[in-house]
Each structure stands twice: as structure tokens, then as C-alpha cells.
Amino acid sequence: MDWPKRFYARAIVRRMRGVTRADLVNTDGGLYVVKWKQNPVHRRVLINSLVGAELLRRMDIATPEWALICADAEFCRSQLPGLQPGLHFGLLRPGDATTSSVYDSLPSALAGRIINRADFVRAMVFDCWVDNAHQRQSIFTPLSTDYYGQMVGNGHILGFRRGAWSFSSQPEVRLPLPVPPSVYLSATAITLIDVATAQIQQTAAPILDSISRLIPDDWLESDYSELGSVFEKLSQRTALLADITKTWLAQLPQSESRY
């Protein structure tokens, strides 16, 4: 199958939490959490979500598989009257909706059972780079007595605030964090941060160029030139990334109890 994958929406399973009013949708490719182009926030949320998911995938940071979800006229008529037929953004839901548990947070006491804590450290570097204007969202699936975390909810990357792309050089720690502050401050974390920063600096420009070609034209509308400018600023932002992450780390709570 060509990339990106495309699947047809068949039926809505249930509404998901969140201001974008995403739905868990049964498609011919499995269960996907779908953000619709006609959502209460902005169609740019779909652009941000695609860019974020694909950048995370290219960086090998844990995130669900994404796909373009096609809502045809029959689906819109029977499932979501008022939705316009077309392509929408979907993230694959891990497991089966009726038998598999998926958690959007874990108590800090269970942080030691997350088997891929390194992904959260690297995702912090990613969020500093793309100026995620929302707290990092993640999901956790149980694996025996442990948990596997994946990054979701990239609708407010690229400095997306009040409907506009506007980068800030001052990152803000938004609590609660997916894992406790100590995870980001360990000796292992410092090495991971340096490696992730170098990876972004070395690969940003060609990756952004290829990702721009994945975005459906009807999501862009009149934003083609502006998004090109956003990507150029994002590429230039790599030079500041080491300082931005240090600023972020300096804002962390000084104790787990305060967290």
C-alpha cells in the first residue's frame, strides 16, 4: 500500500474526549481515532496532527500509526450529518475497543513500569523544537505488568495558538507531565537529549520537505505559502534547540512531591 495509507470510515464507535471532538471510528483498516476537517478548533489541527505524527515516526519515537481516513457521502449522511465528504486524519487505536485497555494517563507511582521512558525524554526535545503549545498527550497500553507509552495529540504543534502558527522561544512546562520530572533529569536523559537534538539538527530540512508533500491539498486551502514559511522557521529553530531544552528543564518542579 502506498504511503500515506488511506482507509474508508464505516461507523462511529464513540466520541472521544477533547475540544476537537474526535471520534473512534471503525474503518476498513481497523479502529482509528479520527479528527475531522470540520472540527470546532480549526482545520489546521489536521495539518499539525499529520506533521507531528510523521515527524515522531521518522524520529522513531513511539506513536500510533496514522492514516488518511476517507468519509464518503453515505458515511456523512448516516453517521455525521453536516460533515463534508473528504479526507480526515486518523491515529490507529491500539488493540480492540471492547477487550483492550488504553489509558491516557498513569499514576506517577507506575512510572517505573513504563518500558519506554526514553521515548518521553526524546518527545520532550521534539516538543521544544516544534513549540507544542499544549501539554504533551500520550496513551499507555498494558503489557503484562508493564506499560508501553505512545505520543498522541499533536494538534497544537508549530506554535499553534488561537488559530495561528506563531513560534515562541520560551518553552513552558505544562503540568501534568506524562512521566515524573526525575525521568527528564537523569544522567541517561541528558545523553538522550543530546542525541535527539543532534538528530533533529542533522535531518530537519529534508524531512520537512518530504512531509509537506503528504498533506492533502484541501487541508491547506490558502495556507500553502504560509506553511512553507512555518517549515523554514522550524528548520532554523534547530540552531536554538539546545538552549530551548535547557530552559524547559530549568522550569521543572524541584521535587516529585510538588509535581
C-alpha cell at 29: 483498516
pLDDT score, position 95: 79
Please report, as a single letter, which amino acid is at residue 161: R
pLDDT score, position 98: 65
Distance between CA atoms of 243 and 222, rounded to whole angstroms?
Answer: 34
Q: Max alpha carbon distance in the chain (Å)?
A: 55
pLDDT score, position 257: 57
pLDDT score, position 99: 64
pTM here is: 0.95
Q: Which residues of the chain have pLDDT under 50?
A: 1
Query: What residues does each domain of the chain span?
Result: 6-92, 108-250
- Contacts of residue 6, Cβ cutoff 8 Å, sequence gap at least 6: 67, 68, 69, 70, 87
pLDDT score, position 249: 97
